Structure 1
């Protein structure tokens, strides 16, 4: 059993939208195929992966460092102890060989993307959905088939007005979501509050709004928004300041009593640990958004979950960023609190397998082997081109 080849292609996911910090007019991602010599149902097993939006493709790093290390390794050194599957932890160690600690940046995205494809292959070799494989290996064997999801949107874009913003949110509600999100910080505080009021005017009982500043604010601005947002019953106030400014995050707990969320731009267990140690996050109400596809993959995410447990946090307080099926499987298999969803954006990489419906902001995981990419026709057509 061995990995025969790892292929990568950089693809555009550009659009005219922007948040408070960046626009997506030139956004790309890396799509990876891990090709093995294992045959299932008469076909070679291929695992697929891609990185989340917001960090661009990482093809050069993969081709120069991480892919060659895996392909140069003794295949036996990458197998599990039983010799009947690949071992993602050993493959991760191989990729990280000769890498210094710290400075996690872009290499965490490159490794995380390959890691996703490895886990897809591992679950396919085991002939299980990844969520079931994770529940068997790291849980009690009983996954949570129903996963909470919320609709991420409310970006700024040319020509947007309050009517279009309300129509966008209505479209998410009509598709079964009860929690929606909009961006803040890309306009004045007064205008952002008017936009929030517009969205709240279309929400019904039991429907909630999140807001996301994408790390834009200094402390004074973050506090000003916190005071203004306190008048609303928001689902959360997300990433007000720079993701590594733990002092700012900690200070906000004195000004904002309702739930806050952050973590999508922390790319290692060590950085996540510093957030928990110094960021003032409250395990009874706040949310953690670490995204495995950007932070060295599931191997590192398992370390992060162990760290959270040591600090008294439940995995149910984790709702990952990224809107991809990998995190859906982790949520179902390891008991996370849910997953982000992009109903319309970053297609075909966002969304769920065909036929999966959102009901009261929950989806039910289908019985698809691996991560389940093959169940989403428009996505799998891109993946098949890479592996064919």
Structure 2
């Protein structure tokens, strides 16, 4: 197997929505197509990747550092002892001559290509990614469906409480039992009215509603909100303060009895390990949301899973951020606790295959070889256009 070309581009995923920290008016992401010399049905097999949502495209790093290393590597440097494509060896090639630290946008760039390489490896094996991953990194018996929750509830110009309620009703109609909304971008009193409006749609059941601060709060505000929302018994209180403010997270965990979720903006094994060491998270209830696509890819995510096991954490306490097919396959293969879903945002990249159906907040996996982007028509047109 040899990589014959890599095509890179940018796709807009912009919208008028905002969370407590940023708006998405100029949001985009990187996409890549890794072309191999393996021919199937008269065409070369191609692996596709993109960098999830919430971080901008990383084209400069891809073009100047990551992709040249991959393309210049000797064929054998990317293969395992059986002569098969090995994304872990390719990861070492992409990270060659990179100093420790400096995570963030570099991790995004590597994660894009990592996704494409896993897609390609599973296609070469003619297996859906979740089965290929389970055979190699799991127990060979992947979950046949994955828990998903519907993420939405953003702030938007002119959006009323009635609009928010209609949005959440739409999620329920699509088969989701658990929904998530943004808080922290309005005064506490207003956010409480928004929470109570959504709870009205949920029949007053706070255990079906998660709230997400997107890292906005200082400690005093985090505790104030925690005291106000704890009586609701919410599904979780997410990303309360700056992702690297482990002390803030630890203090909130001491005082807030409900579930805390965080980690979507931690992009390395080292940062995730510091969260576990110093962030006060409780392995009996709290949730780790590291997004493999943003954090150097699955190769690094497997290291994070190993670290979590060593610290007494179950894989079921991991629910990746991002709402995309790559994490869905990973969740099924590694028996994670679920996966985020974006039924209405971040198109064309967000969401699952076009024929995916959610029931009881669970969704099954496609049997298409690889990740299955070919079953997501609007996005596949973008990906195919990279190398048409």
- Range class of TM-score, shorter chain: over 0.9
Equivalent in the alignment of 1:19: 19
Q: Take 2:186 and 2:178, find their aligned partners in 1: how far apart are those partners?
A: 22
Residues 50-91 of structure 1, C-alpha deviations (whole Å, 9 max, x = no match): 0111110000100000000011110111111101x2110110
**Equivalent runs, 1:1-388 vs 2, <5 Å:** 1-83=1-83, 85-204=84-203, 208-388=208-388
Shift of 1:40: 1.8
Structure 1: 5+ residue stretches without partners: none
Is the 1:147–1:362 contact (alpha carbons within 8 Å) kept by the matching residues of 2? Answer: yes
Shift of 1:352: 1.2
Shift of 1:254: 2.2
* 3-state SS of paired residue (1:254): helix
Shift of 1:46: 0.3
Q: Take 1:145 and 1:40, find their aligned partners in 2: how far apart are those partners?
A: 27
Shift of 1:205: 7.5
Q: Take 2:102 and 2:219, find their aligned partners in 1: how far apart are those partners?
A: 25
Is the 1:46–1:387 contact (alpha carbons within 8 Å) kept by the matching residues of 2? Answer: no
Is the 2:13–2:347 contact (alpha carbons within 8 Å) kept by the matching residues of 1? Answer: yes
Residues 327-384 of structure 1, C-alpha deviations (whole Å, 9 max, x = no match): 0000011101110000010111111112110000000112111001111111111111
| Distance 1:146-1:248 versus aligned 2 partners, 3 A rule | same
Q: Take 1:274 and 1:5, find their aligned partners in 2: how far apart are those partners?
A: 38
Is the 2:202–2:208 contact (alpha carbons within 8 Å) kept by the matching residues of 1? Answer: yes
Structure 2: 5+ residue stretches without partners: none
Is the 2:77–2:93 contact (alpha carbons within 8 Å) kept by the matching residues of 1? Answer: no
* TM-score, L = length of structure 1: 0.99
Is the 2:254–2:280 contact (alpha carbons within 8 Å) kept by the matching residues of 1? Answer: no
Q: Take 1:141 and 1:208, find their aligned partners in 2: how far apart are those partners?
A: 32
**Which stretches of structure 1, 4 residues or more, deviate above 6 A after TM superposition?**
none
* 3-state SS of paired residue (1:116): helix
* 3-state SS of paired residue (2:255): coil
* TM-score, L = length of structure 2: 0.99
Shift of 1:36: 0.6
Shift of 1:42: 2.3
* 3-state SS of paired residue (1:6): strand
Q: Take 2:10 and 2:42, find their aligned partners in 1: how far apart are those partners?
A: 29
Shift of 1:387: 2.2
Output the aligned Cα RMSD.
0.9
Is the 2:48–2:120 contact (alpha carbons within 8 Å) kept by the matching residues of 1? Answer: yes
